[in-house]
């Protein structure tokens, strides 16, 4: 019987458990035994694994986070730790590894593959910054959480005629901010790809009032140079010149939490199943992602060397729709 291990790595994402469940059950169907690695790459270095069974993964489809745990492991970036991880996998007679995670995790997956171990990636991160998948596991749930929060902020902003800044996650990729701006009806979006200096933010929000709006909202990415901290500092230091106050909400980790949406459950189930299928067919060194409405495999080498582009036209659309 063949043996597969699965690890969830990097930032957790709603839907990771649905992928673990799919890998376990599709594995069982194909006579492949599945082991779950605890706590990301740290567990791989330490050889911390549990046997996953069809019954054992009952009731996790609808759970957020990851039942396996995840950590960010600096140690795993060293070749020595990677070799130790491979030794642990071999000691447990495991002949393939599925890595569920974002771009950092897939870099780790590619490193193991380059050392000669069969690895298959599954695209999962709320940031949606992974090359090789139009949409990644967790994005839909996170975006819905953000939009729900923006809708709530809007009611108080309107009542008080206030300006609000909402900082969302995404690191160096502005997808969540841009889509939240479109879906939440923000006046302005600031991301690492589209920086707006604080003085211009102040002018843009003021112009919304001048156009007759009772409130104004700007959505910013946490990893932008002009993030909540920078913009709030400017408003504080130039309060008199700006002429109005800015209220700041940093949504933080609430965006990564909660039950996965139906879309994320289905995406995760399909990607998990496709990862097992690839392994069953003797393939490895690929990311399992979603491109043009279908499962698609992209070589990990391509995934880790390419940057995913954001559609620049959507900023223009967001600008027009905010008028």
Q: Is 95 a catalytic residue?
A: no
Q: Nearest to residue 29, comparing CAs of 53, 5, 61, 47?
A: 53
Tokens describing residue 314: 């959507």
State yes or no: residue 108 binds ligand F6P (CB under 6 A). Answer: no
Q: Kindly tell me which residue out of 169, 186, 246, 251 binds ligand F6P, with binding defined by CB under 6 A.
A: 169
Q: Tell me whether residue 103 or residue 167 sits nearer to ligand ADP (CB atom).
A: 103
Looking at the DSSP bridge assignments, the partners of residue 137 are 124
Judged by beta carbon distances under 5 to 8 A according to partner kind, the member of ligand ADP, ligand F6P, none in contact with residue 167 is: none
CA of residue 168 relative to chain centroid, distance:
12
State yes or no: residue 107 binds ligand F6P (CB under 6 A). Answer: no
Query: Which span sits near ligand ADP by CB under 6 A: 105-113, 175-183, 199-207, 311-319?
Result: 105-113
Q: How far is CA 147 from CA 132, 150, 168, 226, 292, in A?
A: 26, 5, 10, 21, 24
Q: Tell me whether residue 115 or residue 214 sits nearer to ligand ADP (CB atom).
A: 115
Q: Nearest to residue 6, comparing CAs of 25, 31, 24, 18?
A: 24
- Tell me phi and psi for residue 3, to 5 degrees: -130, 135
Site string for ligand ADP, 33-72 (x = CB under 6 A): --------x------------------------------x
Q: Tell me whether residue 21 or residue 107 sits nearer to ligand ADP (CB atom).
A: 107
Q: Tell me whether residue 96 or residue 101 sits nearer to ligand ADP (CB atom).
A: 101
Q: Shortest gap between Cβ of 214 and ligand F6P (angstroms)?
A: 31
The dihedral sign for the CA sequence 278, 283, 289, 293: negative
State yes or no: residue 125 binds ligand F6P (CB under 6 A). Answer: yes
Q: Which letter, b or e, does each residue of 214-229 get, where b requires 16 or more Cβ atoms within 10 Å of its Cβ?
A: ebbbbbbbbbbebbbe
Looking at the DSSP bridge assignments, the partners of residue 166 are 219, 249
Of 12, 39, 103, 127, which is the active-site residue? 127
**Which parts of this chain interact with ligand ADP (CB under 6 A)?**
9-11, 41, 72-73, 76-77, 101-105, 107-108, 111, 125
Binding site for ligand F6P (CB under 6 A): 11, 102, 125-127, 169-171, 222-223, 256
Active site residues: 127
């Amino acid at each position: 019987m063949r043996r597969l291990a699965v690890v969830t790595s990097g930032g957790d994402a709603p839907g990771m458990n649905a992928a673990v469940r799919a890998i376990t059950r599709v594995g069982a169907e194909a006579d492949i035994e599945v082991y779950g690695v605890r706590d990301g790459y740290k567990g791989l270095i330490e050889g911390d694994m549990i046997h996953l069974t069809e019954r054992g993964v009952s009731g996790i489809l609808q759970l957020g986070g990851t039942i396996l745990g995840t950590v960010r492991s600096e140690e795993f970036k060293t070749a020595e730790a990677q070799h130790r991880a491979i030794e642990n996998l071999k000691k447990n007679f495991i002949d393939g590894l599925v890595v569920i995670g974002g771009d950092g995790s897939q870099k780790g997956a590619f490193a193991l593959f380059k050392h000669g171990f069969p690895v298959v990636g599954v695209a999962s991160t709320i940031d949606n910054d992974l090359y090789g998948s139009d949409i990644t596991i967790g994005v839909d749930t996170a975006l819905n959480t953000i939009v729900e929060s923006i809708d709530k902020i809007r009611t108080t902003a309107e009542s008080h005629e206030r300006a609000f800044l909402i900082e969302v996650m995404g690191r160096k990729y502005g997808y969540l901010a841009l889509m939240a701006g479109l879906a939440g009806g923000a006046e302005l979006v600031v991301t690492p790809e589209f920086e707006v200096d604080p003085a211009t933010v102040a002018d843009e929000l003021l112009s919304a009032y001048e156009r007759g709006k009772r409130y104004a909202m700007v959505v910013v990415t946490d990893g932008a140079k002009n993030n909540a901290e920078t913009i709030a500092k400017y408003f504080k230091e130039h309060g008199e010149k700006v002429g109005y106050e800015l209220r700041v909400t940093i949504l933080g980790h609430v965006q990564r939490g909660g039950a996965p949406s139906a879309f994320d459950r289905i995406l995760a189930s399909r990607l998990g199943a496709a990862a097992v299928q690839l392994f069953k067919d003797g393939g490895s060194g690929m990311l399992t992602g979603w491109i043009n409405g279908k499962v698609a495999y992209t070589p990990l080498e391509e995934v880790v060397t390419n940057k995913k582009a954001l559609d620049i036209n959507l900023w223009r659309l967001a600008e027009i729709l905010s008028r």
